[in-house]
Chains A and B, each alone.
Chain A
Amino acid sequence: MIVAEQKHLEEIRRMIAPYDKVVILGCGTCMTVCDAGGEREVSFLHSALRLAQAKSGDGTHSFLEYTVKRQCDPEFIDLIADKVSEVDAILSLGCGIGVQALAERFPDMTVLPGVNTSFMGMAKESGVWDERCAACGDCRLEATAGICPITRCTKGILNGPCAGTKNGKCEASKDMDCAWILIYKRLERLQQLEKMRRYYPPRNFRAIPRPKRITSKISSTGEENG
Chain B
Amino acid sequence: MAKSLFEEKLYSNKFLVTTEIGPPKGADVSEMIHHVDLLKDKVDAINVTDHQSSVMRFPSLGGCLSVQEHGGEPILQVTCRDRNRLAIQADLLLAYFRGIRNVLCLTGDSIDVGDHKEAKPVFDLDSVQLLKMIKAMESGTDMAGNELKGAPKFCIGASVHPEADFIEPQLVKFDKKVAAGAQFFQTQGIFDLGSLRRFMQYASQFNVKILAGIIVMSSARMARYMNDNVPGIIVPQAIIDELATAEKGKGLQKGIEVAARLIKTIKQESLCHGVHIMAVGNEGIVPDILEASELVTVGR
The yes or no verdict on A and B being binding partners is: yes
A197-B175, A202-B85 known; A161+B170 contact, CB < 8 A: yes
Q: Contact check: which of A162, A163, A167, A184 meets B168 at CB < 8 Å?
A: A184
Among B85, B110, B126, B232, point to the contact of A159 (Cβ < 8 A): B126
Given contacts A162-B107, A166-B165, contact A197 B123 (CB under 8 A): no
Measured CB to CB, the closest approach of chain A to B135, in angstroms, equals 12
CB-contact partner of A163 in B129, B179, B188, under 8 A: B188
**B113 near A159: Cβ-Cβ < 8 Å:** no
Within 8 A of B (CB), among A187-226: 193, 196-197, 199, 201-203, 205
For residue A164, which residues in chain B have a CB less than 8 angstroms away from its CB?
109-110, 113, 231-232
Indicate whether A160 sits within 8 Å of B172 (C-beta atoms), given known contacts A155-B110, A166-B231, A166-B232.
yes
B166 within 8 A of A: yes
Say yes or no: A165 contacts B232, CB within 8 Å. yes
**For this complex, into which size category does the number of interface residues on chain B fall?**
35 or more
**For chain A, which range describes its interface: under 10, 10 to 19, 20 to 34, or 35 or more residues?**
20 to 34
The B241-288 residues at the A interface (CB cut-off 8 A) are none
The answer on a CB contact under 8 Å between A171 and B169 is no
Residues of B within 8 A of A196 (CB): 169, 172
Complex partner residue of B173 from A154, A155, A159, A171, CB under 8 angstroms: A159
Q: Does B196 contact A (CB under 8 A)?
A: no
Residue B161 lies at the interface, judged by CB distance under 8 Å to chain A: yes
Flag if B107 contacts A154 (CB, 8 Å). no
Q: Does A111 contact B (CB under 8 A)?
A: no
- Contact indicator B179/A171 (Cβ below 8 Å): no
> For residue B112, which residues in chain A have a CB less than 8 angstroms away from its CB?
154, 171-173
Complexed CA–CA distance, A189 and B46 (Å): 43
In the bound complex, residues from chain B placing their C-beta under 8 Å from that of A181 are: 166, 169
- List residues of chain A with CB within 8 A of the CB of B193: none
Are A166 and B234 within 8 A (Cβ)? yes
| B175 / chain A contacts, CB cutoff of 8 Å | 197
| Contact residues of A between 10 and 67, Cβ < 8 Å to B | none
Closest B residue to A159 using CB positions = B128
B250 to chain A, nearest CB (A): 30
Residues of B within 8 A of A184 (CB): 166, 168-169, 172
Contact of B232 among A171, A173, A203 (CB under 8 A): A171
Q: Which of A158, A166, A170, A193 contacts B126 (CB 8 A)?
A: A158
Q: Is the interface of A mostly helix, strand, loop or mixed?
A: loop
Decide if B121 is an interface residue (CB 8 Å cutoff).
Answer: yes
Out of B123, B180, B232, name the residue touching A157 (CB < 8 Å): B123
Contact for A171 among B124, B165, B231, B234, CB less than 8 A? B231
Which chain A residues (128-187) contact chain B, with CB distance < 8 Å?
154-168, 170-173, 180-181, 184
Chain B nearest CB from A190 CB (Å) reads 15
Are B232 and A202 in contact, CB atoms less than 8 angstroms apart? no
Which residues of chain B are within 8 angstroms of A202 by Cβ–Cβ distance?
A: 85, 124-125, 129, 143
Chain B positions within 8 Å of A172 at CB level: 110-113
- Residues of chain A contacted by B126 (CB below 8 angstroms): 155, 157-159, 162
A193 to B87, CA, bound (A): 34
**How long is the Cα–Cα vector from A197 to B176 in the complex, in angstroms?**
7
Contacts of B293 in A (CB 8 A): none
B169-188: contact bitstring with A at CB < 8 Å (1 yes, 0 no)?
Answer: 11011011001100000001
Which residue of chain A is the closest to B117 with respect to CB atoms?
A172
Q: Which of A82-99 contact B (CB under 8 A)?
A: none
- Of residues 209 through 238 on chain B, the ones whose CB sits less than 8 Å from some CB of chain A are 231-234
Asked if A163 and B164 sit within 8 Å, CB to CB, the answer is yes
Q: Is the CB of A161 within 8 A of B231?
A: no
A160–B233 Cα distance when bound, in Å, is 18
CA distance A139 to B127 in the complex (A): 21
Whether the pair B164, A160 counts as a contact (CB closer than 8 A) is no
Using a CB–CB distance below 8 Å, which chain B residues touch chain A? 80-81, 85, 107-113, 121, 123-129, 132, 143, 159-161, 164-166, 168-170, 172-173, 175-176, 179-180, 188, 231-234
Q: Which 8 A-B pairs have the closest CB atoms?
A: A164-B231, A171-B231, A160-B173, A163-B161, A157-B126, A172-B112, A172-B110, A159-B128
Q: What are 10 A-B contacts with C-beta separation under 8 Å?
A: A155-B108, A155-B110, A163-B161, A163-B170, A163-B232, A164-B231, A166-B234, A172-B111, A181-B169, A197-B172
- Residues of A participating in the B interface, judged by any CB pair closer than 8 Å: 154-168, 170-173, 180-181, 184, 193, 196-197, 199, 201-203, 205
6 further interface pairs, Cβ-Cβ under 8 Å (given A161-B169, A205-B124) = A158-B126, A159-B127, A160-B173, A162-B126, A165-B164, A201-B129
